[in-house]
Structures are given as structure tokens and as C-alpha cells.
């Protein structure tokens, strides 16, 4: 029984209980987008960007709330923002921070989660904004994919809005001498002014520094040149370890992109050391799915990330782990092909009471479906005249596939299939392959050390956990 909705449906069964499922035509991100739009707290936060400096009476009327409900909401929002380094001022209501850029980065994250890559909530031309971001990134030799362009575009627009409202960077930052990045941004004044021509916002005298020191803040967050060299070297070492672990080359272009992004994450964390995710981490499910398929790979990623900064691994393990896994899978050309090759080849023996030719047919069919995933053999003897001792050979295989129950072999790895392997049979075989491969992978991880496995388990939720007593 199920109860339908636009994005999810509630499913109930006597055996599995109540659970939520997202519809095949939608992603869970759509559900979270709806939460942002329907939640009073989030709507209050969003509207504060456009309408700062209003009093409680204004917001009570704007949100159609009672005074008591409004102040309960304000208390919740205040606590929520404090965890992200922000302050909700009440007289009048506005969002501020020790560094104005923290507010801008928070709203950048908000819009990425609330609107994603397909929606644009601003009255500033979207395509022109994208073009400006892409042009500027090219000027600074920064490679951006579609999501990163959208991310930077949100930060640019939020910066222009806040700046126009009078929320500017500190005098200390604004009074710093103009550098090359400042000057390059300043040369684009006509383009940026054109972005704002049909909006209520305008440029200030120091607009270019507001943009350069916010949108391109990764160029300014380093302590010194030595720190840049040190982290760059550590990231290269991390990638060298991964290359060796998977025994697969990493193209120089891919390496540069990965290091570029990880360098940005490092300096962002130094600059804004607070929780960035507001409601929905889009990379989390991606990383979990990768771990489900390639647990050794994702575990080694975690292990080697710790080596970048053993004294303070919080950034890579607690903040950016999912992002790093997704980054490697996306940017490392042909990595999934190599990871598939590295998975355990499952040994399968096929037993048929219809004769050797029928067993060979099933073997050929399985090879056409699974290729080198399976190491296929057939039971050469005649089933009709085989006894218990003859079937002992089946113990040497991960999976036994038979078209009929075997009287002398009834272990759990014996899978009974139709005379011609059906779709449901293939599903069962696929599940068994994954189970064998996962167990082999996690047995390998166990050899790395159970104390490490236990910690990694807390991050990933392992489908198979070895008994601690079995671990040497």
C-alpha cells in the first residue's frame, strides 16, 4: 500500500513497516528544495537578504505569524546562525558576522541548496552572470564545471546585493593596496554594472575589491607562500598514494583540477571554519554509493586524507570527505573502469541436470551478461551418477548455480535458477556478486587494522562488519 505525493510516497507493508521512497522521476534534492520553500525559518533567512533593517512588526505581518510564534522562530534561527559564525541582530533585524564575507558565503550555500543548478531566484540576468564568472575564472586560470560556475554566480550576486545595502568589507581589507586580481576585476566594471542595470542595486566605489576579496577569496586566505607550497606538496603526495593504490595513471590535467579544488577547500576552511551544509549534502549519497561499490577505494581515500594534516584532520575527514570522493570519481578519467577491474573476480561453477551442453549454454549466457566479473566453470561430471564426494569440488567456488536442487550440496551459496536464466535470476546473481565482492573488500580493509575500520564504519555505515574477535 502506498500514499502518493509529488516527490515522495509513503509505503507501508507488514514486513518492512513504513518508509519513504522518492519517485523514480525525482531526486531527494527536490524534496529538500520544497522544505526550503515551505519552512518559515528558511523563508525568514532568505527574505532577510533582500529586506534587512526591518523591525519585528514588519516581519510578523510579512510572515503572517503571531508575535509569540515569531519570537520562537527568531530564537531558533538565532541558534542556527550562531553555529555558522553569524549573528542575527534584532534591532532592526539583519544578519551580520565578524567578517562580512562569512555572511556572503553562508547565503551562497543557502542558494545552492535551496535552488540548485536549475533555478535562479534573482532579478539579475542569469546567463550574463554565468558569462561574467566564466570570463573572470579564465582570466585567473581557474577551471570551473557547471556546478562551480553556478556556485560562484550565487556568491557574486549575494556580494553585489550586500555591498549595495551597505554591508561592506572591513576598512582594513578595503584599504589594502590593489593587487593584480583587484585590477583585473576593476577592468570589468562595465560588465558588472550592466548586470545590475535592471535591479535596485548599484556599484560602490570599492566594488571591485568587494568582489575580488569575496568571490575569489581563495587567493587571499593563505598565511604565506610557504603554506601554499607545503599544502600543494601534501596534496600531490595524497594523489601519488591513490595512483599507487589503484595502479592507474592520473592525467596531468586531471591532477591539476583535483589539486586546484582541494587547495580551494583548504583555504576556504581556514577562512570560514564553520559548518557549511545547511540541510542537504548532495555529495553524501554519491559518496555512500561509491563506498557501497568500491569500499577499499573509499576507505583508502579516508586513510590517505588523514596524512595531509594528522594534527588536525577535521577538514578532510569531517567536512570535505564526501566532496573529495566525488571529486576523484568525477575528475579522474576512466577511474570507474579501473576500480571495476580491481574488484574480486567471483568464481562460479554451473551444475545442470540437463547435461554438459546445457551447462555450457548457461556459462556462455552468464559471460555475455557479466564478462570478466565472473570466473566461470562447469561441473564436468554427470549429475545423475555423482555422489557426495564428487560434489565436494563445489566448496572451492564462491557461487554454485544449478537448474535443480542438489541433494548432496545444499549450502547457502547454491543458487537455483531456471533452465534459461530469467531476469529475476540475474538479479539474484548480481546481488550475490556484490555480496562476495563486498566481503572480499572488507576482509582486505580488516587487514589494514580493525581500529581504523571501526572509525571508517562510523563514517560510511558498512554493509558487512567483521567480528572483532576474528581480527588479529
pLDDT recorded at residue 388: 85
d(Cα 300, Cα 296) in Å, to the nearest integer? 6
Selection from 189, 217, 207, 196 nearest residue 129 by Cα: 196
* Residue 407's pLDDT band (cuts 50, 70, 90): confident
Residue 372 confidence (pLDDT) above 80: yes
pLDDT recorded at residue 26: 52
* Residue 99's pLDDT band (cuts 50, 70, 90): very high
In tens, the pLDDT along 157-205 reads: 999 999 999 999 999 999 999 999 999 999 999 999 999 998 999 999 9
The grid coordinates of residue 89 equal 541582530
pLDDT recorded at residue 467: 37
d(Cα 163, Cα 211) in Å, to the nearest integer? 9
Alpha carbon separation from 54 to 44, 85, 359, 372 (Å, rounded): 12, 22, 78, 66
Cis amide linkage into residue 92, ω under 30° from 0: yes
Q: Residues 6 or more apart from 445 whose CB is under 8 A from it?
A: 295, 296, 299, 452, 453, 456
For residue 409, give the DSSP letter. B
Q: Tell whether pTM > 0.85.
A: no
Residue 448 confidence (pLDDT) above 80: no
Selection from 187, 134, 185, 135 nearest residue 160 by Cα: 185
* Percent of the chain scoring above 90 in pLDDT: 66
Q: Is 347 helix (H, G, I), strand (E, B) or coil?
A: strand
* Residue 261's pLDDT band (cuts 50, 70, 90): very high
Q: Are 330 and 427 contacting, i.e. CB atoms less than 8 angstroms apart?
A: no
d(Cα 148, Cα 258) in Å, to the nearest integer? 13
Q: What is the CA radius of gyration of the chain?
A: 29
pLDDT recorded at residue 37: 86
Selection from 252, 248, 181 nearest residue 210 by Cα: 181
Selection from 227, 236, 291, 300 nearest residue 262 by Cα: 236
pLDDT recorded at residue 466: 35
Q: Residues 6 or more apart from 268 whose CB is under 8 A from it?
A: 105, 217, 218, 221
What angle do the packed helices 207-215 and 100-115 form, to 10 degrees? 60
Q: Are 110 and 27 contacting, i.e. CB atoms less than 8 angstroms apart?
A: no
Higher pLDDT, 221 or 325: 325
In tens, the pLDDT along 209-254 reads: 999 999 999 898 898 999 999 999 999 999 999 999 999 999 999 9
d(Cα 461, Cα 288) in Å, to the nearest integer? 8
Q: Is 390 helix (H, G, I), strand (E, B) or coil?
A: helix
d(Cα 450, Cα 470) in Å, to the nearest integer? 10
In tens, the pLDDT along 332-367 reads: 999 999 999 999 999 999 999 999 999 999 999 999
Q: Residues 6 or more apart from 456 whose CB is under 8 A from it?
A: 299, 302, 303, 445, 462
Residue 417 confidence (pLDDT) above 90: yes
Note the residue count of the chain: 472
Selection from 210, 179, 200 nearest residue 100 by Cα: 210
The arithmetic mean of pLDDT across residues 113-140, rounded, is 92
The arithmetic mean of pLDDT across residues 140-162, rounded, is 93
In tens, the pLDDT along 44-55 reads: 999 999 999 999
Q: Residues 6 or more apart from 329 whose CB is under 8 A from it?
A: 286, 290, 335, 336
Q: Are 408 and 383 contacting, i.e. CB atoms less than 8 angstroms apart?
A: no
* Residue 23's pLDDT band (cuts 50, 70, 90): very low
For the chain, what is the mean pLDDT?
Answer: 88
Q: Are 344 and 436 contacting, i.e. CB atoms less than 8 angstroms apart?
A: yes
End-to-end CA distance of the chain: 48
Selection from 381, 399, 401 nearest residue 391 by Cα: 381
pLDDT recorded at residue 21: 58
d(Cα 85, Cα 104) in Å, to the nearest integer? 12
In tens, the pLDDT along 274-323 reads: 988 998 888 998 999 999 889 889 989 998 998 887 777 788 888 899 99
Q: Which CATH superfamily is domain 343-435 in?
A: Response regulator (3.40.50.2300)
pLDDT recorded at residue 444: 83
* Percent of the chain scoring above 70 in pLDDT: 89
Pairing of strands 17-22, 374-378: unpaired
Residue 472 confidence (pLDDT) above 60: no
Taking the alpha carbons of 185, 188, 194, 195 in that order, is the dihedral positive or negative? negative
Residue 18 confidence (pLDDT) above 80: no
Pairing of strands 93-97, 374-378: unpaired
pLDDT recorded at residue 141: 87
pLDDT recorded at residue 25: 44
pLDDT recorded at residue 469: 35
Q: Residues 6 or more apart from 316 whose CB is under 8 A from it?
A: 305, 306, 308, 309, 324
Residue 454 confidence (pLDDT) above 60: no
pLDDT recorded at residue 461: 42
pLDDT recorded at residue 314: 82
Amino acid at each position: 500500500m502506498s500514499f502518493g505525493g509529488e516527490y515522495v510516497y509513503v509505503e507501508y507493508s507488514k514486513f518492512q513497516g513504513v518508509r519513504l521512497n522518492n519517485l523514480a522521476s525525482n531526486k531527494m534534492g527536490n524534496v529538500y528544495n520544497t522544505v526550503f520553500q515551505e519552512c518559515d525559518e528558511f523563508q525568514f533567512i532568505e527574505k532577510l537578504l533582500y529586506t534587512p533593517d526591518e523591525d519585528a512588526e514588519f516581519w510578523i505581518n510579512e510572515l503572517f505569524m503571531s508575535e509569540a510564534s515569531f519570537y520562537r522562530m527568531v530564537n531558533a534561527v538565532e541558534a542556527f546562525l550562531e553555529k555558522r559564525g553569524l549573528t542575527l541582530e534584532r534591532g532592526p533585524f539583519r544578519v551580520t558576522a565578524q567578517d562580512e564575507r562569512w555572511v556572503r558565503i553562508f547565503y551562497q550555500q543557502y542558494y545552492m541548496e535551496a535552488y540548485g543548478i536549475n533555478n535562479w531566484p534573482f532579478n539579475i540576468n542569469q546567463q550574463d552572470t554565468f558569462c561574467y564568472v566564466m570570463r573572470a575564472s579564465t582570466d585567473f586560470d581557474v577551471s570551473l564545471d557547471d556546478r562551480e560556475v553556478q556556485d560562484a554566480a550565487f556568491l557574486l550576486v549575494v556580494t553585489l546585493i550586500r555591498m549595495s545595502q551597505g554591508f561592506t568589507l572591513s576598512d582594513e581589507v578595503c584599504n589594502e593596496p590593489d593587487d593584480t586580481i583587484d585590477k583585473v576585476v576593476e577592468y570589468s566594471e562595465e560588465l558588472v554594472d550592466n548586470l545590475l542595470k535592471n535591479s535596485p542595486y548599484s556599484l560602490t566605489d570599492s566594488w571591485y575589491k568587494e568582489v575580488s576579496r569575496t568571490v575569489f577569496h581563495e587567493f587571499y586566505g593563505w598565511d604565506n607562500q610557504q603554506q601554499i607550497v607545503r599544502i600543494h606538496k601534501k596534496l600531490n603526495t595524497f594523489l601519488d598514494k591513490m595512483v599507487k593504490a589503484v595502479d592507474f595513471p592520473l592525467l596531468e590535467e586531471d591532477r591539476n583540477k583535483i589539486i586546484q579544488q582541494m587547495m580551494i577547500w583548504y583555504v576556504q576552511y581556514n577562512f570560514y571554519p564553520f559548518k557549511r551544509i545547511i540541510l542537504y549534502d548532495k555529495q553524501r549519497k554519491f559518496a555512500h554509493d561509491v563506498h557501497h561499490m568500491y569500499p577499499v577505494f573509499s576507505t583508502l581515500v579516508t586513510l590517505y586524507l588523514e596524512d595531509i594534516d594528522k594534527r588536525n584532520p577535521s577538514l578532510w575527514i569531517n567536512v570535505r570527505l564526501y566532496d573529495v570522493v566525488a571529486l576523484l570519481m568525477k575528475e579522474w578519467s576512466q577511474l570507474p573502469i579501473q576500480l571495476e577491474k580491481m574488484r574480486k573476480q567471483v568464481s562460479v561453477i554451473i551444475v545442470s541436470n540437463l547435461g554438459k551442453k546445457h551447462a555450457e549454454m548457461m556459462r556462455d549466457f552468464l559471460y555475455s551478461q557479466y564478462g570478466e566479473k565472473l570466473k566461470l566453470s562447469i561441473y564436468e561430471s554427470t549429475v545423475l551418477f555423482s555422489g557426495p564426494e564428487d560434489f565436494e569440488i563445489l566448496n572451492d567456488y564462491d557461487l554454485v548455480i544449478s537448474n535443480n536442487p542438489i541433494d548432496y550440496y545444499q549450502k547457502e551459496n547454491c543458487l537455483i535458477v531456471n533452465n534459461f536464466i530469467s531476469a529475476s535470476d540475474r538479479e539474484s546473481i548480481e546481488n550475490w556478486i556484490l555480496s562476495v565482492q563486498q566481503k572480499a573488500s572488507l576482509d582486505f580493509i580488516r587487514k589494514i587494522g580493525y581500529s581504523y575500520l571501526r572509525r571508517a564504519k562510523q563514517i560510511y555505515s558498512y554493509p558487512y562488519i567483521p567480528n572483532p574477535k576474528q581480527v588479529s
